[in-house]
Amino acid sequence: MRVTVERLVHLGMGLGRIDGRVWMIPLTAPGDVVEAIPVRERPGLVEARLESVLEPGPDRVPPPCPVYGRGGGCHLQHIAPDRQSALKVAILQDVLRRIAKIEPPPPEIVSGDPWAYRCRVELHGGPSGSGAGLGFFARQSHDRVEPDACLISTPPVSAAIPNLRDALARIRPRGPVTLEPVAGADGRVVVVARGDLGDPGQAAQALAGTPGAVGCLASFRGHGGVHWAMAGTTLIPFPTDDGAGGVTTLTLDPRGFTQANLALNPALAATVRDLAEVGPGTRVLELFAGAGNLTVPLALAGARITAVELNREALDRAGGELKSRGLDARLRAARVEDVVSDPDMRMPPPEVVVADPPRTGMGPGAARALASLPVARVVLCACDPATLARDLGPFLASRFRLDRLVLVDMFPQTFHIETVACLVRP
């Protein structure tokens, strides 16, 4: 069918209409006239695939990656980079209007380099249905595409792809494996390896010895659960905001969460600190604190922080980062859902809440408990606008108003949208 794409919507889909039915077509751009083939039909909705572009829209550009459209990681390379963030703003506004039922404030945009930004990627390999190589999962499947470079990855991570593929071929894993090259601010790569690598110690040595790599952490199942074989250097330097708009460097364990866009991370952390409006002595309850990427900037700006994080190792690392800067915070290794209603967490009551939950969001229970606290300001980070819109609900129902919205474009060429939202209550 011939479809004209009106606009881009959630998950980077192009939306068009035929006879009152909505067509959703990936890999299209606003203004495109395309030939599309239905793949799934539901009442009022056709999910389709792009067969060919009949007339390109004004934002369409030739995608530079040779595996674009086949790989699962990039969804927007066919759209001019300088237009992507404006289209993401429109998607964010659309999602907030539909799900949170609010008219959001105009989103501000913070952006960086649209290419060569990812400091970690997940590569899949080992003997599987599709050979014994190493590459990315293909779109909507666990088949692999095996490029020799990745244009959205930093040069060290991109260069690691063929090197790790060669090393893996020599290791000859016994089952499916995942290799994650993670590059720090110094450009050196630590490899996190998971799966059935055979002898984990030998595998760690081999992977740590690939060109550009300085170390490897290889997991294996043993007595009492998962263990790690280590070779070489296994920590990475990672930049964050220094509490005043400059940069301070954390030392992170790549097995735990790190932001994927290293260059833009200080700006993300500075945005959170700015929206939190912390000053000396401000009492902050920080949820989903990880290894202190936001904790350290907030503490450097003078905040008195209670930080909650599930991963004890990450939280210990945050504690070490604070201590090495002569800072202190109350650190609690626990599930956010379990502690937000704890009276102990409410004494003394925080003035500001900062939350950076995983993609699934904080959930309605935690949001309701937080909205019942006598706080005047809540800063919420989200990497999915739909999840953000749902998490906002309990706050909006408790007299909070969405004051500022900042789209930090951490994931160019993909449909992912990182947002920092600031809620205030009179």
Ligand X SMILES: C[S@@+](CC[C@H](N)C(=O)[O-])C[C@H]1O[C@@H](n2cnc3c(N)ncnc32)[C@H](O)[C@@H]1O
Q: Which residues bind ligand X (CB under 6 A)?
A: 257, 259, 288-290, 293-294, 308-311, 314, 335-337, 356-358
Nearer to ligand X, 156 or 290 (CB): 290
- Nearest approach, Cβ of 386 to ligand X (angstroms)? 16
Nearer to ligand X, 28 or 306 (CB): 306
Contacts 24+ apart (CB under 8 A), 19-24: 20/44, 21/45, 21/46, 22/46, 23/48, 24/48
Q: How far, in Å, CA of 304 to CA of 330, rounded?
A: 8
- Nearest approach, Cβ of 268 to ligand X (angstroms)? 7
- Return the DSSP state at 279: -
- Nearest approach, Cβ of 258 to ligand X (angstroms)? 6
Nearer to ligand X, 46 or 380 (CB): 380
- Asked if 173 and 202 touch (Cβ cutoff 8 Å), the reply is no
Nearer to ligand X, 13 or 294 (CB): 294
Residue nearest to ligand X (CB): 290
* Residue 16, beta-bridge partner list: 23
- For β-strands 108-110 and 401-408, DSSP reports them as parallel
Q: How far, in Å, CA of 362 to CA of 293, rounded?
A: 18
- Nearest approach, Cβ of 296 to ligand X (angstroms)? 10
- Nearest approach, Cβ of 271 to ligand X (angstroms)? 12
Closest CA to 260 of 65, 80, 408: 408
Amino acid identity for residue 310 in this structure? L
Q: How far, in Å, CA of 116 to CA of 101, rounded?
A: 36
Nearer to ligand X, 29 or 378 (CB): 378
Nearer to ligand X, 262 or 308 (CB): 308
Residue 359 CB neighbour total at 10 angstroms: 9
Q: How far, in Å, CA of 368 to CA of 383, rounded?
A: 20
- Nearest approach, Cβ of 229 to ligand X (angstroms)? 23
- Nearest approach, Cβ of 395 to ligand X (angstroms)? 18
Nearer to ligand X, 30 or 297 (CB): 297
Structural tokens at position 207:
């992977």
Nearer to ligand X, 351 or 384 (CB): 384
Instruction: Indicate the Cα dihedral angle 273, 410, 190, 179, nearest 10°.
Output: 140
- Nearest approach, Cβ of 123 to ligand X (angstroms)? 21
- Nearest approach, Cβ of 177 to ligand X (angstroms)? 23
- Terminus-to-terminus CA distance in the chain, angstroms? 52
Cα separation values, 271 from 87, 335, 390, 419, Å: 21, 25, 22, 10
Nearer to ligand X, 122 or 166 (CB): 122
- 3-class SS of residue 362: coil
Residue 54 CB neighbour total at 10 angstroms: 12
Total count of residues recorded for the chain: 426
